[in-house]
Amino acid sequence: MADVWHTRSMSSQSSSLHHSVTSFILGTFISCRRPTATTTSIEKLIMLSSFPLRNNKALLTLSSSSRLSYRVFQQQGRTTTTQPKLPSSPVSFFVQRGFTSTSSVHDGQLADRCEKYVVSSPFPPLLPNQEKSVPLPEFIMSNWKGGNDTTSSSSSSSSSSSSVFPGDQIAIIDGSTGMKRTIQDFYQSTTGMAGSLLHDMGVQQTDCVCLFAPNHVDYIPVTLAVGLCGAKVTPVNPLYKTEELQIILDRSRSTVLIAHVSTLDIAMEAAKKSKYVQHIIVMTEDGQASPIQGIPTLDSIKNHSQAFHTTIRDTHPQTEYHPYLLPYSSGTTGLPKGVCLTHANMVANLLQCEEVERNTFLSGETLLSPLPFFHIYGMMVSAMYAAWKGHPVITMSGRFDFELFLELIQTYKPHRAHLVPPILLGLAKHPLVDKYDFSSLKCITSAAAPLGLAIEQSVRSRLGCEVKQGWGMSELSPIATLNSDSHIKPSSVGPLVPSTFGKIVDENGNTLGPHQNGELCIKGPQVMMVSLSLFPTIWF
């Protein structure tokens, strides 16, 4: 996936990054060209038919029962194409990316100065094809007690890749309820639920499981269990109303809906109206029975005679093209847009984060993250990264309570925290802060919105810990830039993470130089495979 560009517009008044018009061309980059009102989704896919590309090979493959291909390649020094007949029915597709050009394209021509001002990451690049070596569930579980230990050497770049975490090590604690899980709990729940989903509910690669819950201690095991089945998971905001949830269910074509007991009423109503939901499972607190007869609890599917810990075979050779996570991003206009992230996208971003954090986020350190797991920041940067690295996570399943948040810091003494600017504002200004002990905190990472310099400096001075920022978005799995602890630039989101490139372009696609405002283009292995909002009839 290393040859995809994604664009974001850069505000002329601040460092905030905002949505640009959502348009892209698969295979090379996500460009800033704006299709006309009459441009169809399929036409967007094949806009490159007349574009002069350099040393490029297979551009795009559409596959259905009979394979259709659209290719641009170099032959004897000239560009040639083979063009398929456009299918009349929905098809699935994957993208073959073999591009070396970093050129932006506009109106069929190479943009002016297309090779200039491309910025690269200061960090060492990922090893070739490292992110494609193993599906995400095996990657995360490689060091779990009783997990598939054979994957650890190939899937992890960290110093801990040769060790296995003790089974009784705490994996997560819910500060709102006191519930907790160990690494062994994670492993047994993940493999057991995978067996139940596959063998009892018939979850297949083409299926999607919708997760409609707050930060439950079983959130990550459920997500990984779905991945083991080769299926997709779409995490949903637990505050959604019936109509909002129904839109996600139908757009994602979810056949299984897992809802927390607090969201079950809305889930039941939305499922009745959905075209696809076949099974409903309720996620309860420990020992709590299902409030509705006939609706199984998540606990009841954790043990299965055919539990398994290896992703189904078909997923392994195509991690780069196999969709896994479908977060729905609100964007700036219209209904939520489905962002399709592959196994390789997510593994790549975890490896990219690891390169930045490895020397300072040390083994055995605890992370405090009240971030919602349905959000890509909480899901990937906090929960998945911690599960992979063996860092205990302290989270909150209830509505955010600032005083409880302060109590969790004093009680569990976390070394690091993943937060958002409104919480840092409270840490800078609220009088309650002076009553609590923050001596354990080494570093706070702020993301999801810009953090002003004054607040950043105030928190650093008041708590005596480092404060740094990062930037990303759902379409980037999500991290694109991140400060390292040892080189924090105040009020900056930091440099590009490994194997990532960036440039600024104007409204015509021309590359801009320093200190000019335009759209930010990002290229790297973490860039999403596709946005389902642009291809609503295409499925995998």
pLDDT in tens, the chain (540 residues): 334 455 554 433 333 332 222 222 222 233 333 333 333 333 233 222 222 222 222 222 222 222 222 222 223 333 333 333 333 333 222 322 322 233 344 443 444 455 678 899 999 999 988 888 899 999 999 999 654 443 333 344 443 445 799 999 999 999 999 999 999 999 999 999 999 999 999 999 999 999 999 999 999 999 999 999 999 999 999 999 999 999 999 999 999 999 999 999 999 999 999 999 999 999 999 989 999 999 999 999 999 999 999 999 989 999 999 999 999 987 667 788 899 999 999 999 999 999 999 999 999 999 999 999 999 999 999 999 999 999 999 999 999 999 999 999 999 999 999 999 999 999 999 999 999 999 999 999 999 999 999 999 999 999 999 999 999 999 999 999 999 999 999 999 999 999 999 999 888 888 888 889 999 999 999 999 877 665 554 444
Let me know: does 192 contact 301? Beta carbons within 8 Å.
Answer: yes
- Write out the H or E segment, with its range, that includes residue 210: strand 208-212
Q: If DSSP codes are grouped into helix, strand and coil, which group holds residue 197?
A: helix
Burial-class residue 241 by CB neighbours within 10 Å (0-12, 13-18, 19+): exposed
CATH number (3.50.50.60, 3.30.10.20, 3.40.50.12780, 2.40.110.10) of 130-499 reads 3.40.50.12780
Q: Contact, 281 vs 298, CB < 8 A?
A: yes
Distance CA 45, CA 52 (A): 16
Q: How far is CA 343 from the centre of its chain?
A: 10
Distance CA 484, CA 467 (A): 10
Is the backbone peptide bond immediately before 124 cis, with ω within 30 degrees of 0?
Answer: no
CA dist 104 and 53 (Å) reads 10
Structure tokens, 432 = 């309650």
Q: What is the pLDDT of residue 115?
A: 64
Element (H, E) at 75: strand 68-75
Give the whole-angstrom CA distance, residue 134 versus residue 136: 6
Q: Six-digit token pair at 453?
A: 């310099």
Q: Please state at what angle helix 264-273 crosses helix 242-252, rounded to 10 degrees.
A: 50
pTM beyond 0.85: no
Q: Pick from 77, 39, 72: which is nearest to 57 by CA? A: 72
Q: Using alpha carbons, select from 537, 540, 538, 535 the residue that is nearest to residue 22.
A: 535
**Residues 6+ positions from 416 with CB-CB distance below 8 Å:** 361, 365, 366, 367, 368, 441, 442, 443, 444, 445
CA dist., res. 30 & res. 46, Å (int): 13
Q: Is the dihedral of CA 350, 499, 314, 375 positive or negative?
A: positive
Strand, helix or coil for residue 482? strand
- What pLDDT does 100 receive? 29
In the block, residue with structure tokens 């219209």: 334
Tokens matching residue 51: 């574009």
| H or E, element range at 387 | helix 385-389
Label residue 419 left, alpha or beta by phi (over 0 means left) and psi (-120 to 50 means alpha): beta
Please report the pLDDT score of residue 90 as a whole number.
Answer: 30
Rounded to the nearest angstrom, the gap between the alpha carbon of residue 527 and the centroid of all alpha carbons in its chain is: 10
Count Cβ atoms below 10 Å from residue 394 Cβ, excluding itself. Answer: 24
Position 514 scores a pLDDT of 87
Collapsing DSSP to helix, strand or coil, 481 comes out as strand
User: Residue 315 has which token pair?
Assistant: 């997923």
Residues forming CATH 3.40.50.12780 domain(s) in the chain: 130-499
Tell me which DSSP letter residue 54 carries.
S
The HSE-up count of residue 432 (CA atoms within 13 Å, CB side) is 13
Q: Which two tokens stand for residue 488?
A: 């924090």
pLDDT of residue 26: 26
